[in-house]
Each structure stands twice: as C-alpha cells, then as structure tokens.
Chains A and B, each alone.
Chain A
Amino acid sequence: MKCVIAGGNVKVLGRAVHSLSRIGDELYLEPTESGLSLRAVNSSRSAFAAFLFAPLFFQLYEPGSAGPDTELFRCKVHMKSFLGVFRSLPSLEKSVGKCLILLKPRASRLVLQLHCKHGVTKTHNLAFQECERLQAVFDTQRCVSRLCAPARLLAEAVVHFPPTLAEVTLGTGTSGRISLRNYVEDDAEPSKTMVTELWLAEDEFQSVAVAPGSHITFCLKEFRGLLSFAEASNLPLTIHFDKPGRPVIFTLDDTVLEVHLVLATLSDLDSSSQCPSTNGVSHLPAPPDDFGDDLESYMAAMETSEGCSEGPPSPTFPLRTPQPAKSKPQQQEEEEEEEEEEEEEGAVPGTPPHKKFRSLFFGSVMTPGRPGPATTQEVLAEDSDGES
C-alpha cells in the first residue's frame, strides 16, 4: 500500500490518530478499495473506533493489489509509535507539507515519511504485525433513536462535567428535551456525590428522532476523543442509540471521511420496569415546554415533582446485575483474546468499562453499506502469534 497525504489533510490525519489513541493501544491499518481505514479497540472490547479516509482524501492512494485469493494487506502497529509521528499537531500544521505512508509486507516495515519545510524529511520505520480484520458488529439502522448535533453543542455540553468523569447518561425527556447527566455508581454514597444535569432543547440539534423517555449510559472519556476531532473538523455528529445495553454509535460523515465510534452502554438491571411513564416520575421532570426564559417555572416544576419522587438517589439507572459467569473473557487479557472473541460471537454486550462494561460483540462483520464478501469477514481474531 502506498499513499500520500498533502497539505492540511496531514493535520486531519494527525487528529484522527490522536482520537484513536484515546481508545486503544494498537492502531489497525486496513487499506481497502474504498479508502484507508484506521481502527482501534479498547482492551475490554467496549469501545471501537474506525476512521475511513476515502481515496479523494489522499494526493495519491494505492491500496496495493489483492490477488484472486488474497486480500489486501492489513496490519496493526503500536499506537504509541504511530502517535509519536503525529504527536505535535501545531508543528504538523506549520512544517509538514506531505506525509507518505508506505506498507511493504515483504520488507516488514511500515514507513511513515514526513516531508517538511526547508527540505527536511523525517522517516519513521515502524514494526507491524499482520492481523485479521477488526470490526465490531453494529447496525445504525437498527437503532431506535438518532440525534444529530453540531459538535460544538456537545462540546459545550460536556464542559460542565469534570474531566475525570467516567460515565455519562444521555436521556430523552418526555417533552423532547435531551439531557446529559453524570452517572453515579450505585456503590457511591449519594450523600457525597454531586450530580450535574444538563438539559438541551430539541431545536439546538440538527435533527432529533428519538424514543421519548429513553436513556443510555456510556463512557465519556472515550467519547471525548471523538468529540475533539469533530469539533476541530467542524462536522456534525450523529448519535444512534437504542435500549440500554445496546451499543451507542457516534458517526461523522464527510465527502472524504467517515468515522464511527461504537461504545457499549450500561444495561438496566430491571428491564421489566422500563415503561416510559415510570421513567418520567422517578426522573427530574424535563423543563416544561413553555419554559422559555423562565427559570422560575422550571424550579416550580422541580418542586412539584419532589413531593412525589421516591426511590433510590440515582433513580433511573439501577445496578446492572453481575453477568453470568459464562463470558468474562475480558478479564483474562494477553493471548487468549482470539479464542475469547469467538466465544463472544452473538453475545449481547452488557455493561460498562473496566469492571462494568462488557465487550461489544465482535462477531461476523457486515457493517451496513460496506461491500465485501461475507465469507472472508469472519469473527475477528487476533494474530495467532498473540500480542507482542
């Protein structure tokens, strides 16, 4: 594979790598006919990100030739090594004119060459490993709810939460408002934890097509990486989500770039009690529709509901049960991963990060709209040589 990125796009590539570095420790490179795909997954398999750069993004794009029985060559590299080439975004912008990426399987080196000002050329030779295709199973068409917002709106929303906050809950109020709330773990003391909630009006979004009274809880840290990329590129962000427990999919679309971030969400303990009406009572009510500028009526609405609200301090998101022991593969790391992924085929993803979020399903692969023979797209499995 050989490709050349020129001008301002070098910085875009750099930003993409920064985003991916927030997800996982390894960067997967997959040249395809429709472009170069960079992907990453986190160690607990609860977050997956893919950046697809179309051929038009490049000054020159040669994915290489696939033989009749072989596929285009794929590899993965250490994230730190790749990120190191693009570490300083300001200096990329100022001094790099062109970036060449050359993948020569037989020479077993991935070459990244930056052509900089004043005739300086920086060449990085990275070691890589061959690997199978990394693909999470998700389908945006199957998601009940969809929100589209300018990245700036979401960036302004998350600023109210502390940078260290792990999980956030996105909810849809009954009057069409969208809320973001920090997720409080059930074993945290309610009398010690500050709760922050933000309400956004429907018309701040570019499009809203959501099931009222729904909510999902996902890892904010992993989302922030994509959010800063979206903000810098000034692209609107689309959020596809479904029931709690089903993954949430964030997408960015452009003529030359397509980004997907898939995060597992916290599943509810008690799925039987999920009727929207009970959600409405145990929540803070959404501000009334005639809210306008009147904070006072909002406070009044809060007061009237306080009398009747009851239940645990973190009302709507009770603890997820410990999942049945059959699949806790993410707890054994190292080389077991390939077998684990096969076990998880078809498993419903459960609950959140490190100890909580279980892995996404890495089953068989078809992403919507992606061409490709189904037969070769098997369960992703790591290279049988294991992790280096």
Chain B
Amino acid sequence: MSGQAQGRQCLCERLGPAFSDKEKRKGGEDHSAYLGGRGMRRFPSPRGIINTIVKLAKTCILRLTVCKLYFILSDKVANGGASMWCELSQGNFFDEFQMEGVAAEHNEIYLEFVPENLWRALKTAQSAKAVKIKLTNKHCPCLRVAVELPSLSSCSRIVTHDIPVGVIPRRMWNDFREPSMPDFDVSIYLPVLKTMKSVVERMKNLSNFIVIEANLSGEMNLKIETDLVSVTTHFKDLGNPPWASEDGCQSSGQGRDLESMAEACIDIKKLQQLLAGQQVNPTKALCNIVHKRIVHFILLHEEVSLQYFIPAIA
C-alpha cells in the first residue's frame, strides 16, 4: 500500500497573517504546509482525536480533502473487523490549509501512518508558538511536523518530527469509503462515558465478550457471562435520539415494541479501547444496535465526529 508520492501530490497549509505570503510553486515540487500558527491557541488541537486513535489501531489512514480531514480505520482482519470513520473540518484546526491532490477531479490525498508517531509529534506541540505540517518526499514520503517552541533565548527552539507515511494510490481509495448508516433496530444515547469505561474495564477482567443491549425506552444493559459468573450493569433513562429518515417519517424503530431489547455480543477489548481513548466528554454520544449484527457508536465533539463500528461475534 505504501509507495512513492504520485505526481503533484502535496499538502499545503499556510500560516496566518503573521507570516508573509508564500508563493505557490508549480510543477512537481512539494509545497510547504503550515498548521496553526499563533491562532492555534484559539483552536483545539487534534491531539484529542489522535489520542483515541492511538488506542484503537497501529496504523491509520488519513484522507485529506479541501475542506476536511478524515481518519479512517478499515475493517480489516488486523483491526478485528472493527472500523472507524472520523472527520474534522480543517478550518477548525488550521489557520490556513492548502492542499493539492493527484488530479483536479480527484483532489484528495490518502496517507497511511502510525498514529503513535503523530501523537508524539503533537505532544511536542502543546506549548508551541507555531506548528507547520508538510508532506515531503526526501527518501520516502514523510509528514514533517515542525514545531517552534518558546525559549529564553532570542531564537526559538525548533523541533522537527519526520513521520514516515505511505501514500495510498488512487486505485485503492475505494477501500476507504464512508460507511453507510446501518439499518438499526435501536438507537440510544450512551451513559456517561467515564462510568461506562470503568464498568467495561472491570468486566474485561472476567470475560472476553460483552453483550450490549438496549431498547427504545432509554434502557441499556451491559452483560457478561462466563461459566462461573454473570454480571449485568443496568442503565436507565438514557434517552433515545429522534432519527428522522429522509422522507420525513420516523426511521427504523417505528412500530417497534418500546421494551424489546436489541442486543449484540462484541469483543470487549474493542469497546474498552474506544472508551479508554476518550478524555473529554463528547457533546453527544450514542450507539445504534443492529440486533446480533453490529454496534455503531457515534461520538460527536464540537469539532470532530467519530463513528466506530464493532461487529457482533457470530
């Protein structure tokens, strides 16, 4: 999947008004990319989402379009069948952002990278005066994150992290399409994630699988069962999100018995990893359950939306 940078692929983000305009160069050269700058303090850092991704997988796909960034984990065997789709508007994070994809009609870039590397680079950037990100191809494609740090001397400290990335060729882009919303049986808001996390962590010590069940009356149960013990944690009054389908009618759930539980038995580790990565409470957190098929988690923060799919164990 990795390969050399193709054609005029480049990622370019310019700094804010404090810096002079940089003339855009044409013809196969890499453009400089800058992220943030002094305006960065107004904006949250993408570190929060990277922190989540680090827990979920060893490699991740970054898709760049003109307006948005996407972090994608596809449902390969390596991920245990789980998949993730996360999108952010670049305007929420970057003072300026410029990119140029492979060709005008495919103005996108897909990169494969190791989230841990990016996480470490952004950790440096916590107290930065300026951060610039650039896609380069010196010996192999790299995301160069250059961070300018304050220092006591007249010159700033500069830290650069060269994160090796793999450029995904266009013929493989179809592997990473946005997953469609499943036809769920029940949709329910999640309990406070911190509580859910501590429950799941304890259950993880007892069993490898967990059953999530919920109904349209705002009730959710987390159950584990082994030969020796079964444990169930009950949550009530969670609320069910009102989904309106495109034609204006209520979507699935219409006519469904409000007390009837939809359930799915999933790998507890996947759930624990998802919850472990959440440092901040999302604005909205809910899950959609397709009975005995899949659980679809949606976590919405102000600037980031995250969807995580965990298939049910047969």
- A residues at B contact (CB < 8 Å): 160, 162, 177, 190-204, 284, 287, 291-296, 298-300, 302-303, 306, 309, 312-313
B22 CB contacts on chain A under 8 angstroms: 296
Q: Which of B134, B153, B156, B163 has the most CB of A within 10 A?
A: B156
Q: List 27 A-B contacts (CB under 8 A).
A: A160-B159, A191-B2, A193-B164, A197-B159, A198-B158, A199-B157, A199-B158, A199-B159, A200-B151, A201-B155, A204-B151, A204-B153, A284-B160, A287-B155, A291-B156, A291-B158, A292-B155, A292-B156, A293-B148, A295-B130, A298-B146, A299-B32, A299-B34, A299-B134, A303-B29, A312-B139, A313-B139
**Distance between Cα atoms of A193 and B117 in the complex (Å):** 9
User: Which residue in B114, B144, B154 is a CB contact (below 8 Å) of A203?
Assistant: B154
With A190-B140, A313-B139 already in contact, the answer to whether A198 and B159 are too (CB < 8 A) is yes
Per CB-CB distance, the 6 closest pairs between chain A and chain B, nearest first, are A201-B155, A191-B140, A203-B153, A195-B162, A313-B139, A194-B117
Encode B159-202 as 1/0 by CB contact (under 8 A) with A: 11111101000000000000000000000000000000000000
With A194-B117, A203-B154 already in contact, the answer to whether A303 and B30 are too (CB < 8 A) is yes
B130 CB contacts on chain A under 8 angstroms: 293, 295
For A196, the closest partner residue in chain B by CB is B161
With A191-B140, A309-B138 already in contact, the answer to whether A293 and B156 are too (CB < 8 A) is yes
A192 touches B30 (CB 8 A): no
A196 touches B160 (CB 8 A): yes
B152 touches A204 (CB 8 A): yes
**Distance between Cα atoms of A318 and B300 in the complex (Å):** 48
B160 touches A197 (CB 8 A): yes
B153 CB contacts on chain A under 8 angstroms: 201-204
**Distance between Cα atoms of A78 and B167 in the complex (Å):** 53
With A160-B124, A194-B163, A303-B30 already in contact, the answer to whether A295 and B148 are too (CB < 8 A) is yes
Nearest chain A CB to B127 CB, angstrom units? 10
Chain B: residues with Cβ within 8 Å of the partner, total of: 40
**Distance between Cα atoms of A199 and B159 in the complex (Å):** 6
Nearest chain B CB to A370 CB, angstrom units? 36
Q: Which of B34, B129, B148 has the most CB of A within 10 A?
A: B148
For A305, the closest partner residue in chain B by CB is B138
A298 CB contacts on chain B under 8 angstroms: 146, 158
A194 touches B161 (CB 8 A): yes
Nearest chain B CB to A385 CB, angstrom units? 47
**Distance between Cα atoms of A295 and B148 in the complex (Å):** 7
Interface residue B120 (Cβ < 8 Å from any Cβ of A): yes
A293 touches B161 (CB 8 A): no
Encode B18-57 as 1/0 by CB contact (under 8 A) with A: 0110100000011010100000000000000000000000
With A162-B120, A193-B164, A295-B132 already in contact, the answer to whether A306 and B138 are too (CB < 8 A) is yes
A200 touches B146 (CB 8 A): no
**Distance between Cα atoms of A203 and B153 in the complex (Å):** 6
Q: A195-B161, A197-B159, A204-B157 are in contact. List 7 more A-B contacts (CB 8 A).
A: A160-B124, A194-B162, A198-B158, A203-B155, A295-B130, A295-B156, A306-B136
**Distance between Cα atoms of A294 and B156 in the complex (Å):** 9
**Distance between Cα atoms of A193 and B155 in the complex (Å):** 29
For B158, the closest partner residue in chain A by CB is A199
A200 CB contacts on chain B under 8 angstroms: 151, 157
B157 CB contacts on chain A under 8 angstroms: 198-201, 204
Nearest chain A CB to B156 CB, angstrom units? 6
Interface residue B73 (Cβ < 8 Å from any Cβ of A): no
B164 touches A192 (CB 8 A): yes
B140 touches A313 (CB 8 A): yes
B155 touches A190 (CB 8 A): no
Interface residue B15 (Cβ < 8 Å from any Cβ of A): yes
A287 CB contacts on chain B under 8 angstroms: 155, 158
